[in-house]
Amino acid sequence: MQQRNYKDIAYGIGLVAFGLWIFVYAATNYHLGTPAQMGPGLFPAGVGTLIGVLGAVIALTGALRNIPADDGPRLDLRATISVLSAIGVFALSVTTLGLFPAIILMVGIASLADDKLKPHKAALLALALCTFAYLVFNLGLGMPWPLWRSPF
Amino acid sequence: MDILALFSENIGIGLATAVTPTNLLYCFFGVFLGMLVGVMPGIGAMSAISMLFPLTFYLEPTTALIMLAGIWYGTAYGDSLAAILLNVPGATSTAITCLDGYPMARQGRAGVALLMTTIASFIGGSIGIVLMMLFSPVIVRYAQQFGAAEYFMLMLLGLISASNISNASPAKSMAMAALGVALGTVGMDLYTGTNRFVFGTLELTDGIGIVGLAMGLFGVSEIISSVRDVSTSTIDRKSITFRSMIPTRDDLSRVWPPILRGSAIGSFFGALPGTGSAVATFVAYGSEKRLARQPERFGKGAIEGVVAPEAANNAADQTAFIPTMTLGIPGSATMAIMLGALLIQGISPGPTLMTRHPDVFWGLVMSFWIGNLLLLVLNVPLIGLWIRILMIPYHLLFPAILMFICIGVYSVNNSTFDIWTVVVFGGIGYLMRLGGLPAAPLILGFVLGPLMEEHFRRAMILSRGEFSTFIDRPVSLSVLLLCLLVLGWGGYRAWRGRRSASAVDILAD
């Protein structure tokens, strides 16, 4: 029985779309020029085409060849969201609230990725990391970031 | 005679640069930190390097280079340690160490495996360094005649062979390399001053930051996929004592030929563009197994199966610096990151580096040796510390790693934009992991992309728009043919391989 590799098909189509977008964007927004006098758009347009072609190869191989799809890692939505938003919150708070609040918020959100890190342990970890960051980055390397800051 | 005199003169220049108290201290820091991060479970050498290299931005170029070399050694060794004790390889090149290293650890011979690994790495690395010292000047002499067309072709060969000689499918790897090249075009075009793909942001005019890109693609995506996967294992700490490191007479009689063979294989594959240490370790293991009198011992704790790949790994890591430093063409993702760090320091590796800044070049070479030696010295007494770090539960470790990533990337430009780069590429990197798309070719493409565009455009200007310039020049033509050969081989492999038979399997068989 023919078994299609839907993951490869989806990723391949995604790459085709992205390559096409690069090509169109580069060709319409930037000057292409001639081979002897290449404009800024020609090289990106060429690379976009290449990505599209390779994406098509990936999608077609997934559709036509009977290769058993390896399951691979499964999407862990909870870990993804908490890890990425922990970094995002650090980015938002480090300039507005200061380094310590940024670390505390980050550890708090990151601890949601996994059940193993209980709140009281997360609090201790945040405290330890704040101390470490203060000693190493502030005192040791002399990075001039505010530790606490009023957002107002 | 002449060569010998030149050789010792270069050693002199190198030692004078490397052996200053400051440089030695930073080399030590580099090795120590590299091992510290490399040994952490769930962090491979790539993530460790991308996390640590912003630290070197504060230093002056030579010291930074020396520290980088230390970091690089440390992470690679930390990886082997985790592979032997926990059976968790952090990189493809250490995957093979697990095969016999972990069984040795389970037989209570972890101490011997660790000591012999260190010695094998030292010998492999030393042989690689000597080869680098001998061949770099020769290559530089040839490279001075290379024009834009040759450079473009060599870089293309690097990308193509990196994509075709890996575990992933050639189409996927090449797509990722192309994606990396596309990401490399973001920012101001050097020829015309046009801002490309910046979407009105000021920060992107300098291009996407390599620190954020690498940390996102390797570090963050690795954390997301390990958060609930890595379980803490317990290691019997008492089993690894100094006494347990003493090899038996049987061990000692077995290890030398595999170490030397492994070093030779590693040196050869490391110097080829795009192949790197992963292939070298697989071939070294395969050939030891074939040469062995009792091949059935392999996989059950044969010491030959540990030392040969480790020697090959370090020799390859070393000779991989030859194309990176003499031509400015990195052969692997690690080398690409090293090249990125050098460019940030204002050093552009290539034929002119050795002639104009011999102190930087030879200082780096000598500091490799010192780093190698420090590794040997640090490893044995600190083994207890490394094991303790290996046993830190991951749920306590990953928030700390996230903090280091955030602070590290923020410290480069004091700009939160770089932290957002990490978020975006962390997400993309995780998506790529799920789809089986390798991140290493992307980094390589990202670093090589702008150089390739520059050389391509220069070649086209010089030839007045004639594409035949790539065929008319003999060196360029032969590299082009080599590209086609590798491409054809990759295609054949993909077509033949019903199951995911990798090049590495074929080579190791």
At B237 the pLDDT is 59
Q: What is the pLDDT of residues B29-69, one digit of tens each?
A: 888 888 888 887 667 677 777 788 777 777 887 788 778 88
Q: What share of chain B is helix, strand, coil (3-state, %, to 5)?
A: 80, 0, 20
**Mean predicted confidence (pLDDT) in B206-215:** 87
pLDDT band at B241 (very low <50, low <70, confident <90, very high): low
pLDDT band at B467 (very low <50, low <70, confident <90, very high): confident
At A85 the pLDDT is 95
Is B325 within 8 Å of B353 (Cβ atoms)? yes
pLDDT greater at residue B507 or residue B478: B478
Query: CB–CB of B175 and A54 under 8 A?
Result: yes
A44 contacts chain B (CB < 8 A): yes
Query: CB–CB of A54 and B192 under 8 A?
Result: no
Q: What is the pLDDT of residues B343-398, one digit of tens each?
A: 877 777 888 887 787 877 888 788 788 888 888 787 777 777 877 777 788 888 88
Spans in chain A with pLDDT lower than 50: 1
Q: How far apart are CA A90 and CA B401, in angstroms?
A: 13
Q: How far apart are CA B320 and CA B268, in angstroms?
A: 9
Burial of B164 (0-12, 13-18, 19+ CB in 10 A): buried
Q: What is the pLDDT of residues A76-113, one digit of tens each?
A: 899 999 999 999 999 999 988 989 999 999 999 999 98
Q: Which residue from A minimizes the CA distance to B169?
A: A58
Chain-centre distance of CA B402, in angstroms?
22
Query: CB–CB of A107 and B430 under 8 A?
Result: no
CA distance A47 to chain B (A): 6
Q: Position of tokens 């990195």?
A: B330
pLDDT band at B234 (very low <50, low <70, confident <90, very high): low
Q: How many CB atoms are closer than 10 A to CB B356? A: 11
**Mean predicted confidence (pLDDT) in B411-421:** 88
At B165 the pLDDT is 66
A141 contacts chain B (CB < 8 A): yes
At B176 the pLDDT is 94
At B342 the pLDDT is 79
Q: Position of tokens 């201790």?
A: A124
Query: CB–CB of A38 and B398 under 8 A?
Result: no
Chain B partners within 8 Å of A44 (Cβ): 182, 185, 196-197
Q: How far apart are CA B354 and CA B300, in angstroms?
A: 46
Measure CB to CB from residue A22 to each of B182, B398, B500 and give the nearest one. Answer: B182
At B506 the pLDDT is 44
Q: What is the pLDDT of residues B142-154, one digit of tens each?
A: 887 888 898 899 8
DSSP label at residue A147 = S
Q: How far apart are CA B350 and CA B49, in angstroms?
A: 22
B188 three-class SS: strand
Helices (H) and strands (E) in chain A, counts: 5, 0
Q: Which residue from B minimizes the CA distance to A52?
A: B175
Q: Which two tokens stand for residue B441?
A: 């070719």
Chain B partners within 8 Å of A125 (Cβ): 396, 399-400
CA distance A11 to chain B (A): 7
CA distance B465 to chain A (A): 4
Q: To 10 degrees, what angle do helices B21-39 and B358-390 make? A: 40
Is B260 within 8 Å of B314 (Cβ atoms)? no
Q: Which two tokens stand for residue A88?
A: 């995002």
B172 contacts chain A (CB < 8 A): yes
Q: How far apart are CA B80 and CA B425, in angstroms?
A: 27
Query: CB–CB of B220 and A57 under 8 A?
Result: no
pLDDT band at B430 (very low <50, low <70, confident <90, very high): very high
Is B363 within 8 Å of B13 (Cβ atoms)? yes
**pLDDT of B500 above 50:** no
DSSP state letters, B282-351: HHHHHHHHHH-S-GGGTTS--THHHHHHHHHHHHHHHHTHHHHHHHS---SHHHHHHHHHHHHTT---SH
Q: How far apart are CA B1 and CA A143, in angstroms?
A: 52
At A68 the pLDDT is 60
CA distance B424 to chain A (A): 8
At B504 the pLDDT is 47
B501 contacts chain A (CB < 8 A): no
Q: Which residues pair with B96 in a beta bridge?
A: none
Q: How far apart are CA B336 and CA B324, in angstroms?
A: 8
Backbone angles phi, psi at B187, to 5 degrees: 115, -170
At B86 the pLDDT is 75
At A72 the pLDDT is 65
**Mean predicted confidence (pLDDT) in B269-296:** 79
Size of chain A, expressed as the number of residues it contains: 152
Closest of B102, B43, B45, B51 to residue B72, by C-alpha = B45
**Mean predicted confidence (pLDDT) in B327-331:** 81
Is A112 within 8 Å of A83 (Cβ atoms)? no
Handedness of CA B59, B63, B67, B69 (dihedral sign): positive
Is B150 within 8 Å of B479 (Cβ atoms)? yes
Q: Which residues of B29-46 are buried (b: 16+ CB within 10 A; e: fewer)?
A: bbbbbbbbbbbbbbbbbb
CA distance B462 to chain A (A): 8
Interface of B with A in 427-446 (CB under 8 A): 427, 430, 433-437
Q: Which two tokens stand for residue A100?
A: 């310590």
Q: Which two tokens stand for residue B69?
A: 């070399």
Is A136 within 8 Å of A87 (Cβ atoms)? no
* ipTM confidence score: 0.91
A108 contacts chain B (CB < 8 A): no
